[in-house]
Structure 1
Amino acid sequence: MGIISSSIARKVAMALSGLFLVLFLGQHFTINLTSTFSPETFNEISHFMGTNFLVQAILQPVLIFGVIFHFVMGFILEIRNRSARKINYVRYDGNANSTWVSRNMIYSGVAILAFLGLHFYDFWFPEIVHKYIESNPADATRYYGELVEKFESPVRTGLYVLAFVFLALHLFHGFASSFQSVGFNNKYATALKKFAKFYAIAIPAGFVFIALFHHFNH
């Protein structure tokens, strides 16, 4: 109830869910990066993640909830912010008070949400079908081939690259501002914000590299 009624609580909840997703993003990138230099390692890690009870029964549902919560809270905040700006439209100057990225977080968020739909369609749903609907036997060597297959199409690869560009834009403002939202303001705050901006560029760029690597080397 407090999250719905309190503006500060909503921003803190939004920031905390965002930080949680950023941690997952780094972990996901690390696993995927192994596919560019060691298919065996990628298969081993993917098989572990896909069969471990803790990951599948606890961490995966928490992650899905975190994604849904973050985007729902983002839409709520955007609607309330737009309503507030309409009331104070005479004194509000978006260009003077904020960056283009911060004013358009909702659009980059929608683009990322669309990408997640594609990503679920490409990987999560086939995984559910393979394991629980078709009840196929465990195969620890199938993950690398399935990953490479998704990047054979130049159109699909291009969509992934475009999505990572939007992800970088979203992270560039969102990751850095999340520290301020949770009240983190000490001597390490400046260094953390610099790291957040570096992370916002480096991780999406890394995902772009992975997509292009598999597209041109399949």
Structure 2
Amino acid sequence: MSGILNSSIARKVAMALSAIFLLIFLLQHFLINFTSVISENLFNELSHFMGTNILIQAVMQPVLIFAVVFHFVMGFILEAKNKSARKIKYVSYNGGANSSWMSRNMIYSGLVILAFLVLHFIDFWIPEMNYKYIQFNPEDPTRYYGELVHKFESPLRVGAYVVSFALLSLHLLHGFQSSFQSVGCNGKYTPALKAFGKYFAILIPLGFIFIALFHHFNH
């Protein structure tokens, strides 16, 4: 860990690897949530499997939580290191000319996404832990769809989700390509990777927004 913190290259690679892991989780999370639009029964089945499978609960869930915390902590460290490296301001420097708005404001979009994740944990993860490990309620494979729809009844909560996923899209437009570049994915596949990253960064957040709006207007 000290090696990661002391090496700029190691920090960027570690940040990129955690980002790629979270991208995979985001896609998986979207695919499961999207089934709630198609089939209530299928969504309940998939959610029940995810919520009761020992490998997912005991291994993948702690790894995911660690990856989220690590990614944001590393993001703050990189931002602090970059600011300290720019203490001497050059007259000729023009941030807008040398980098995109998204790359210059990743920390701010990241903070909003972090706030959204806290809301998401309060909405779903904490009630799930309370249901299973504090109240010790019996398993109910049919409860997940109703719980999801209930969360999207509030227009304020849906609005927060929409804004958060819009900023997530901006965050991903820069972060997707940057992550793969940091781990050395450059060459003849770069144009295809850029195109895929652009579509991913736009379509996945839009898909989440669609899910929230669908359940809000159909509850």
Task: Report deviation, 1:132.
Answer: 0.1
Query: 2:214 aligns to what?
Result: 213
Figure out how many residues of one structure are paired with residues of the other and give that number. 218
Query: 2:57 aligns to what?
Result: 56
For 2:135, the aligned partner's letter is: E
Q: Give distance in 1, aligned partners of 2:198 and 2:85.
A: 28
Root-mean-square deviation (Å): 0.8
Query: 1:36 aligns to what?
Result: 37
Task: Report deviation, 1:87.
Answer: 2.0
Query: 1:199 aligns to what?
Result: 200
Query: 2:159 aligns to what?
Result: 158
User: Are the counterparts in 2 of residues 26 and 203 from structure 1 also a CA contact under 8 Å?
Assistant: yes
Query: 1:101 aligns to what?
Result: 102
User: Are the counterparts in 2 of residues 34 and 41 from structure 1 also a CA contact under 8 Å?
Assistant: yes
For 2:132, the aligned partner's letter is: K
For 2:210, the aligned partner's letter is: F
Is the aligned partner of 1:187 residue 2:194?
Answer: no
For 1:18, the aligned partner's letter is: A
Q: Give distance in 2, aligned partners of 1:113 and 1:65.
A: 14
TM-score relative to the length of structure 1: 0.98
TM-score relative to the length of structure 2: 0.98
For 2:83, the aligned partner's letter is: R
Percent identity of the aligned residues?
Answer: 70
Distance 1:92 1:86, change over 3 A: farther
Query: 1:68 aligns to what?
Result: 69
Q: Give distance in 2, aligned partners of 1:146 and 1:197.
A: 32
Query: 1:120 aligns to what?
Result: 121
Task: Report deviation, 1:89.
Answer: 4.0
Is the aligned partner of 1:135 residue 2:140?
Answer: no
For 1:6, the aligned partner's letter is: S
For 1:148, the aligned partner's letter is: V
Task: Report deviation, 1:183.
Answer: 1.2
Task: Report deviation, 1:91.
Answer: 4.1
Is the aligned partner of 1:172 residue 2:173?
Answer: yes
For 2:25, the aligned partner's letter is: F
SS at match of 1:86: coil
Task: Report deviation, 1:90.
Answer: 3.2
Q: Give distance in 2, aligned partners of 1:91 and 1:55.
A: 52
SS at match of 2:153: coil
Q: Give distance in 2, aligned partners of 1:153 and 1:92.
A: 46
For 1:58, the aligned partner's letter is: V
